[in-house]
Structure 1
């Protein structure tokens, strides 16, 4: 299965992805995202200063307002 990076505070998303067989890595800093096929972020601090640094070639999913199941579906859609 895919290697998914998930921000620390998204525990419910982490558990849901693990239940679906994905390898989940906790995103603590930018280097954690480099080897991930997809990253899930809270969106709370994204682009605060108007600066965007690309650290992964994988998809980035903003989980703000989504349930854990919705995030899992979005991850799986992007990985296809």
Structure 2
């Protein structure tokens, strides 16, 4: 089962992904992202300095402007479902 990290504010996305059978992890800090196949973030907090540390090899998906169904579709595509 694919492990998907989901930012806490995205409750509709979390529920939709759980219904599709994904194992959901709460993203509260960088440690939570380790080992996730994919991470979904709200996209509200952008890194204005352009600096980032790599904590996961999985895709990071910004849900900004997307519906829960659209996010699920992207997650499915990234996980070859």
TM range (shorter): over 0.9
Aligned to 1:34: 34
TM-score, with length taken from structure 1:
0.95
Distance in 1, Cα, partners of 2:2 & 2:52: 25
Q: Which ranges of 4 or more aligned residues in structure 1 deviate by more than 3 Å?
A: none
Aligned to 1:69: 69
Name structure 1 gaps, 5 residues minimum. none
Name structure 2 gaps, 5 residues minimum. none
Deviation at 1:49, TM superposition (A): 2.6
Aligned to 1:2: 2
Q: Figure out how many residues of one structure are paired with residues of the other and give that number.
A: 80
